[in-house]
Structure 1
Amino acid sequence: MAKLYFRYGAMNSGKSTSLLQAAYNYEERGQHVLLAKPAVDTKGASEIASRLGVTREVDYLIAPDVDVRVLFDAHRERVREESGADVACLLIDEAQFLTGEQVDDLFRIAIEERIPVIAYGIRNDFLTHAFPGSARLLAIAHSLEELKTICRCGRKAVFNGRVIGGRFVFDGDQVAIDEGAGGTAAPEVTTYESLCGACYLEESGGRLG
């Protein structure tokens, strides 16, 4: 039985790198994959960009109001027409930006279409609140895998601190896309730093949420 997988981690834990490696592994064996990401993730436009400098164009973007099942079916049919073979796996980057309903559609694709779906993303925002897509993935994914990274102090990082103008901030909208590697940095650019629990509490003055 095909499964829905959620591979999650704090910022800089290698999620996009892992996704691109998974795509390479499938294709090295002559299999076809589809790559997608939410349209709200404007970093890299229509590309999946690893912080190691590796990039790849996605097959399609997922708008907030789109039916994920219908979108997948259309691109699956395109692959069949072009290659004569079926899709072996659907890979989703930045899955935290999906809606709960869209995650449910990913589950249905895995079960009803028998296509493995591997979603990559972060669990929590800069205020430690779960993103809607991540919360639903944590609830229904068959397999959960944490991709680990370290805090500046050397401990395991679990939170994502938002930095604006060189200072940590703890107010604002849930979604504020960072510039990413190689971005054009403005004086008040928004970036993120992965933090352990102790360092997060130190920067927030003990605040959680």
Structure 2
Amino acid sequence: MAELHFFTGTMDSGKSTPALQTNHNHAARGRVGRIFTSHDRAGRAVLSSRLGLTHDALEVAPDFDFWRYVVSSLTAGGRIDYLICDEAQFYTPDQIDQLAKVVDELQIDVFAFGILTDFRTQLFPGSRRLVEVADRMNVLRVEALCWCGKRATHNARTEDGVMVTEGDVVVVGDVEAADEPPAHVAYEVLCRQHHRRNLTAARAKAVSLAPEPLPFG
């Protein structure tokens, strides 16, 4: 029986790598699939991993219809055994329902990969719907770490190095590297405590380097 799988983790937990690996494993067994993504950091219609691996993909716009695409492909004589859906947090709830219909009505496996919450700690609509309808939900085993060493559970957005908690939900950026100057828009994974305090790695370093207050009295 086909199933709708949802693999999730924070940013920097390597979710695109198992997406590529899943495609490789199924293709190696002679199965034929399609790869989809949305707003990948590497550009349009590309599924990319921070390990440097990439694969061509179909870009999922808000008006894309998975059911119509799959039925049209099968009607035209194509073969589809499975779908790889990366950056699924950016899909609409209707698109997630279309994927569930593909699984149930056409017996095609769907493997969706995405993060749960945005920089405001709120569930992405697509991820929320996946939690509601997926046959299996899998938390990725590779845990991203906060700068303090604790397990990272929250995604933070920074603008010019300063953490922000308001703005457009979908703004493409990558996880900020510690040895590079702050990007205009970047992301950083934090534990809950430091996300709540708006304490990014750069701010924590600045605080630790601040001079001791002068004594009074």
The two structures have a TM-score, normalised by structure 1, of 0.85
**Which residue, 158, 163, 166 being the options, matches 1:168?**
163
Q: Using a 3 Å threshold, how does the CA distance of structure 1 residues 102 and 47 change in structure 2: closer, same or farther?
A: same
| CA distance in 2: counterparts of 1:180 and 1:156, whole angstroms | 16
| CA distance in 2: counterparts of 1:181 and 1:77, whole angstroms | 45
Higher relative contact order (CA 8 A, sep 6+): 1
Contact 2:36 2:60 in 1 (8 A): yes
1:28 aligns with 2:37: no
**Which residue, 56, 81, 96 being the options, matches 1:88?**
81
Contact 2:3 2:135 in 1 (8 A): yes
Aligned twin of 1:102: 95
Q: Using a 3 Å threshold, how does the CA distance of structure 1 residues 116 and 181 change in structure 2: closer, same or farther?
A: farther
3-state DSSP of counterpart to 1:87: coil
Let me know the Cα RMSD of the aligned residues. 2.4
User: How many residue pairs end up in the alignment?
Assistant: 196
1:46 aligns with 2:45: yes
1:73 aligns with 2:51: no
Extract unaligned runs of 5+ from structure 1. Answer: 205-209
Aligned twin of 1:63: 61
Aligned twin of 1:207: none
The two structures have a TM-score, normalised by structure 2, of 0.82
Return structure 1 stretches of 4+ with deviation > 6 angstroms: none
| CA distance in 2: counterparts of 1:163 and 1:75, whole angstroms | 41
| CA distance in 2: counterparts of 1:187 and 1:175, whole angstroms | 19
Aligned twin of 2:191: 196
Q: Using a 3 Å threshold, how does the CA distance of structure 1 residues 179 and 201 change in structure 2: closer, same or farther?
A: closer
Aligned twin of 2:37: 37
Aligned twin of 2:10: 10
2:100 aligned partner, one-letter code: F
Aligned twin of 2:113: 120
Contact 1:51 1:181 in 2 (8 A): no
Q: Using a 3 Å threshold, how does the CA distance of structure 1 residues 188 and 42 change in structure 2: closer, same or farther?
A: closer
Aligned twin of 2:129: 136
Q: Which moved more, 1:94-103 or 1:164-173?
A: 164-173
3-state DSSP of counterpart to 2:81: strand
Extract unaligned runs of 5+ from structure 2. Answer: 200-217
| CA distance in 1: counterparts of 2:104 and 2:90, whole angstroms | 22
Query: Deviation digits for residues 20-61 of structure 1, max 9, x if unmatched?
Result: 0101111112221110123x4464221101011111101x22
